[in-house]
Amino acid sequence: MNVLAIDTSSDTLSVALETETQILHEEIDEVHGHSEYLMECADKLCKSAGIRPSGLNMVACMKGPGSFTGLRIGFSTAKGIALALGIPLIAVPTLDCLAYPFSTWPGLVLPVLDAKKNCFFAAFYRGGELLTDFFDASHGELLKIMSGIMISANEPILLTGAGAKLFLSRFEGASQGNSPHGDLIYAKEITKKMNLDNKFASGRAIELLRMTKNSSIYKKSDIDGAPVYLRKSDAELNCKKDG
């Protein structure tokens, strides 16, 4: 089975291809032209694997949340491929995919993406299980949620995702008294429990492949679906104001 996986949920473009005998991966950091490079990467992987694009059996992409533009590009490209070839499209929630490699982490896993406007897209996981809704919230609001679901004061917290480093810096700022959000003493203590995934900014196309292959949840085609944004885009909000 030949599966193409696409991650355009952040500034990093990540594309992976799995065949019966190999897994190939292409990644471009800090790219602001996903639409320009995405099909080029996919074609390159197919050529390297010795297959034609028409030989794909399934395509997977991120469902969101994430970059508005990136998600639209990834989902529409995956949908176009799926429709053209008559193959399934599997769309996986971005935060689920970010947390997926850390199901054995001995504490909370918090994947975070920069949602701009001093907020983050985030969710909490433990033991591979989703504990909360997907949030569009400030670091102060997430601190309050975190304090309510930690099973002990010493529970370690793993931060991952493209917004992880920024999120940690906000907590470090709060612990030094530079933020109006939350209890400063608690922020200082909880910052000590936070660990930064050393590959936090990497794309997750390979994890997408693993999830579609190993999880029974992501088997139904989302060919009629659409990305999940959690928030209206600035263009939509400005359109309402103008109207």
User: No. of H helices and E strands in the chain?
Assistant: 8, 12
pLDDT at 33: 78
Q: Using an 8 Å Cβ cutoff, are 12 and 162 in contact?
A: yes
Q: Using an 8 Å Cβ cutoff, are 11 and 32 in contact?
A: yes
pLDDT at 8: 96
DSSP state of 102: G
pLDDT at 94: 97
Which two tokens mark 74? 């990834």
Residues sharing a CB contact under 8 Å with residue 28, sequence separation 6 or more, in sequence order: 12, 13, 37, 41
Which two tokens mark 5? 């996986």
DSSP state of 197: -
List pLDDT tens digits, range 207-222.
Answer: 999 999 887 777 789 9
Q: Using an 8 Å Cβ cutoff, are 99 and 114 in contact?
A: no
List pLDDT tens digits, range 141-152.
Answer: 998 899 899 998
Q: What is the pLDDT along the chain (243 residues), one digit of tens a residue?
A: 999 999 999 999 999 999 999 999 999 986 677 888 999 999 999 999 999 999 999 999 999 999 999 999 999 999 999 999 999 999 999 999 999 999 999 999 999 999 999 999 999 999 999 999 999 999 889 988 998 999 988 999 999 999 999 999 987 776 565 544 445 667 778 888 999 999 999 999 999 999 998 877 777 899 999 999 998 755 544 444 445
Kind plus residue range of the DSSP H or E element containing 208: helix 205-214
Query: Which residue bears the tokens 């909880």?
Result: 190
Domains, the chain, with CATH or none: 3-94+203-242 (3.30.420.40), 96-196 (3.30.420)
Closest by CA to 87, choosing from 45, 54, 39, 42, is 54
Residues sharing a CB contact under 8 Å with residue 129, sequence separation 6 or more, in sequence order: none
